[in-house]
Structure 1
Amino acid sequence: MDDNKLYNALLKSQDERRQFERDRGEAKAEDGFRKERPYAGSDRDKPNWTRLEHDRNEYPPTVYDSSMSLGLISNPNPWSREQLRERKIIYSGMPDKEVMDAYRELRIQLRNRAGEGNFTVMFSSLGSGSGGLLTAFNLAASFGLDSHSSALLVDCDPYSNELEGLVSAPMEYGVTDFVGDRSLTIKSIIYPSGVERLSVIPAGTQASSAVELFSAVRMRELITELKARYPDRCIVLNAPPFRENTEGRILERFADQIVFGVPFGEVTGEIIADSVDALGSEKFSGLIFQE
């Protein structure tokens, strides 16, 4: 090979090498050391890992996201739509849209009044006898229908056993048992309801001493702990009929808002006004007219 060809081949080889090093990001003196090396995600350094897709239920989120985290609340035996309809429990897509919209409006009004964060609503019927629990249950269920919030129904009416027919899980201990027995934990009195994002706590078995138990310090500790567990939780306290029992006046101290139920054809305007006056609290938020 003559000298010219050898020289040209050498130049070509050097140019190719220089171009290759530039592509790799190697800084050369003639570049003024201003060229940066490629970042770790460049084509020359392909990652040696493979992305794996996992089931959300198998690996719960580690960062709190209400729409995901709240969906993981235990509900091992959910009610079917037919079962919900039989029990007159509201559900998304139910045929009676007017009833569903009424509970949605209640949810909106109560949340707007409460502002940010969780809160506690006490519900008590102004009628005689039982019959208010279903309304309290559906009020709590309306908050559970929102994927960004959850609800807890705390039944504080030990004189009624209606809750057993509304939940899909067997229940044993409740509020009065927990307050009266310090060996019980909160976990032992919370049960899945059969409705998504709604848990329940039954009233318990110690009805005769309910007034004293609701006045105890441990009752306040229970409500405080329940409110602290989830930042997007609405707690509904179902109190015995307000006009016939003293428990409602005791439970009022644990509520941020109070709603009275008005059974159709059973309560007059005068009774409503007297009950609100007897309550004597700015926590009163409104009335729910029950058919």
Structure 2
Amino acid sequence: MINFNGTIVSQDSNILTQNRAFLYGDAVFETVKIVNSKILFLEDHYFRLMASMRVVRMEIPMNFTMEYLEEQILSLAANNSLSNSSRARITVFRNDGGYYLPQINTVSYLIHTIGIEEKLYSFSQQKYEVDLFKDFYVTKQLLSSIKTTNRILNITASIFASENGYDNCLLLNDSKNVVEAIQGNIFMLTGNKLITPPVSEGCLNGVMRKQILEFAKKVGNLEVVEEVISPFDLQKADELFITNVIKGIQPITKYRKKDFDVVLAKVLLEKLNEVVSAT
């Protein structure tokens, strides 16, 4: 028996009592965008998920092929009438048993889908203001680069942003450098130089980050580099924008007293939507 919100109930009636994702954050996940019954950037998502499972020493089932996971995600989207445009999340968690040391390394998974109104990526011209989140720091380690269900730093930063009237916050690593936003990678344009922090700084190895790097390298007279970004660099930037696979590109228009242009972000958005339109 267990006590659930003041009521004594059978432990069997609450599946979370042994779930390792719930108890210890022992899970990894991928969030994908579905357009016209296809998963955008499927291969990148699949290999990142497999790499994440290897990093945390989960046993990868023999049937976990890219084709199998694609079919599982798309069949659910079809069942929910969301094949046209939606987001799906697959969470892979280690099976029940043990405390910090698991008894087994086999896994189970959960997929759910949510509809998205627009197929193409877009952003509004409204003000989008950010500031630094300094209460806690991202560590420069491999675990920071994968998507685990331990996102308490991001949650706390989101609450901080909401309480202070910001649209987002930029996260710092333990060297006090800027590594990413709450829910996406950060890019900074200074002159003709586009910079994003290297994964070694502790940022997420984002799928959309990879796409934007590839698109940007095809823009004429633009130098694209992965370099450390300090908080002082932000004040000298011409543009700042955030990327993730659901939103695409989100320009930052204001950081403290500095306002930013939205020029390169529009160019990259067009290139991104060319890929989506071809899906």
Q: Flag the structure with higher strand content.
A: 2
Query: Which has the larger Rg?
Result: 1
Same fold (TM over 0.5): no
TM-score (norm 1): 0.30
Q: Flag the structure with higher helix content.
A: 1
